[in-house]
Structure 1
């Protein structure tokens, strides 16, 4: 009996020691509400919708992430994250089990971390995630509506390296061997020949020090040689910064995109899709040598009190001459207003209104959305 008790105590001790060196966290978001939306043209044609809207402020999801100490300052880490439609329970991201994130990596405070798998690109993480008052949420209100390379672009088969934070600076570089994104050259899949897959470089540099934040990113997508877009590539760079004055946090950014665009995953964030593909295709990568535009945002977050804040932004896509001539594309301008109220640290109420002129760069097209919802995080 004493041996049994001793063995149990030793096992409990070893288990405690192991758990002290590793951790796994289960987390998730439930977000739902009501929304009115309309898209119309000056000639009177249009469509409206009123009903449930889900994943507006934050996409509905559940996931797990963890870290384990390997000794000598080295850690193994992972994240898997599944997106779903709260309105009907269906999986999102094309029905993938872990479509939002699926990666494993190694980390050390001295040299940084390296990750392999499916993850968002650095423009989505460091530019939009760091500067946008709407934090990549709220559909057409978010910064990705104009900066399409950061419209929550998720890439497959990414090898990503991020440096440690040094005096506020951090750099990152990633390469996707096969993005898994569809394009106007067709779905490339995963061909044995690397060149027969769409590939992408994602790079970034950010700086955070007290109230000041700045970021610069670069994205380059290559068309698969096995498609009609063989030899084509899309190029994009962005730069921006924000400063928190306590009474208001102001952010600005500018970007250039040439020879196509990323459709991304945010509602309404399709950039020039209607101008370049009148059939309404929802291609995630559009290679088009005649397409080029500049992107702008000026945004502000205004704390009302300790539990509520007002969100404001103006964004614009300004097509270049080639795009205007080829598609009669016009400047797309969006005016956005939101308000959030925190019931607790995990549950908040939100309401929002946004209007986009020359929506998707189509002349006289107007898109308006108004909504309210509640978000719970666990």
Structure 2
């Protein structure tokens, strides 16, 4: 009996060690709001941010080396329909088809002391490290990305930037407050047919209350010119409020020069967070505003996973229906 117990304990130890070598996590989000987007008189129920279901995992290969993967499906929670995902203006050559199942991410890679190497459908480094970081709404809700492109998505992305690249090779490295990311992707695959290989890079530095970021990308689209977008942004956390600013500059593949700026403030308020921004995107070539206005919002944390939120924005660059708003609930699992 004693030997059996010892053997059982040994097997349990081995099994525990084996399971500790790798881990797989199921996760997701459901986010729905009642909203009226800018540019429309219609009131809708739609995703406040991309509702999703995903699986990710890491396997310890020993010697500080590990393999990882991430698959993420996007869907419209109001109907259960498969979502094509956001497609930035000017990137119709890569409009995500409805047949694409892993719209969010489809990646595999290796990481260690050398950094992180990722292959597959992945966010651009310029988007993750600069454009997304500059927007207090994180390209979500009626303010930024859902359901009609919003205000801050246009300002931070310049109506040029891409969100993700298919068939991409991405490298990331972080040390002592500095972070670096670079990505290159195939110009042609089973979905995309760009004139040149999409390329992007980003760098950031964070120390105490200060964070600075820079992102640059060429989308691979060429008509009159190569489409490209540069952003420089930063934040300063005063404790009671975190202030931020972004400046963007670039041109479309048709040769139109775009410039933008965004000023932001985020402040903890009770059990929630108050957000505010003001910015502008201007087509310098045509001398017209593509987006201009302000947004405010309050996001209240019912728990670590569940948030109630409301937002209001006004885009004066629009001819009609300049205002928008939403009331929503987001749950992460």
TM-score range, shorter-chain basis? 0.7 to 0.9
SS of 1:247's equivalent in the other structure is: coil
Give yes or no for contact 2:142–2:311 (8 Å, CA) kept in 1: no
Distance in structure 2 (CA, Å) of the matches to 1:34 and 1:237? 34
Between stretches 236-245 and 129-138, larger displacement belongs to 129-138
Distance 1:4-1:288 versus aligned 2 partners, 3 A rule: farther
| Residue number in structure 2 paired with 1:124 | 127
Between stretches 165-174 and 139-148, larger displacement belongs to 139-148
Distance 1:137-1:333 versus aligned 2 partners, 3 A rule: same
Which TM-score applies when normalising by structure 2? 0.86
Which consecutive residues of structure 1, in runs of 5 or more, have no partner in the other structure?
40-46, 181-187, 261-286
| Residue number in structure 2 paired with 1:144 | 153
Distance 1:89-1:130 versus aligned 2 partners, 3 A rule: same
Q: Tell me which of 246, 254, 273 is aligned to 1:288.
A: 254
| Residue number in structure 2 paired with 1:342 | 301
Distance in structure 1 (CA, Å) of the matches to 2:317 and 2:188? 30
Is 2:275 the partner of 1:311?
Answer: yes
Is 2:310 the partner of 1:300?
Answer: no
Counterparts of 1:137-216 in structure 2 under 5 Å? 137-141=140-144, 143-148=152-157, 153-163=163-173, 165-178=174-187, 189=191, 198-216=196-214
| Residue number in structure 2 paired with 1:220 | 218
Q: How many residues are matched?
A: 313
Give yes or no for contact 1:357–1:366 (8 Å, CA) kept in 2: no
The alpha-carbon deviation at position 8 of structure 1 amounts to: 6.1
The alpha-carbon deviation at position 365 of structure 1 amounts to: 4.7
Give yes or no for contact 1:294–1:317 (8 Å, CA) kept in 2: yes
The alpha-carbon deviation at position 315 of structure 1 amounts to: 1.6
The alpha-carbon deviation at position 216 of structure 1 amounts to: 0.2
The alpha-carbon deviation at position 134 of structure 1 amounts to: 1.1
SS of 1:25's equivalent in the other structure is: strand
Which consecutive residues of structure 2, in runs of 5 or more, have no partner in the other structure?
85-96, 145-150
SS of 1:147's equivalent in the other structure is: helix
Question: CA offsets per residue over residues 270-311 of structure 1, 9 Å max, x none?
Answer: xxxxxxxxxxxxxxxxx212x111010000001112x21110
Give yes or no for contact 1:156–1:178 (8 Å, CA) kept in 2: no
Question: CA offsets per residue over residues 241-263 of structure 1, 9 Å max, x none?
Answer: 001111100000101011x1xxx
Distance in structure 1 (CA, Å) of the matches to 2:38 and 2:121? 34
Q: Tell me which of 89, 92, 111 is aligned to 2:83.
A: 92
Give yes or no for contact 2:110–2:118 (8 Å, CA) kept in 1: yes
Give yes or no for contact 1:177–1:197 (8 Å, CA) kept in 2: no
Give yes or no for contact 1:189–1:197 (8 Å, CA) kept in 2: no
Distance in structure 2 (CA, Å) of the matches to 1:197 and 1:151? 16
The alpha-carbon deviation at position 128 of structure 1 amounts to: 2.8
SS of 2:126's equivalent in the other structure is: helix
SS of 1:124's equivalent in the other structure is: helix
Distance in structure 2 (CA, Å) of the matches to 1:350 and 1:179? 41
Distance 1:197-1:65 versus aligned 2 partners, 3 A rule: farther
| Residue number in structure 1 paired with 2:60 | 69
Which TM-score applies when normalising by structure 1? 0.76
Distance in structure 2 (CA, Å) of the matches to 1:98 and 1:244? 36
Counterparts of 1:224-239 in structure 2 under 5 Å? 229=223, 232-239=225-232
Is 2:30 the partner of 1:30?
Answer: yes
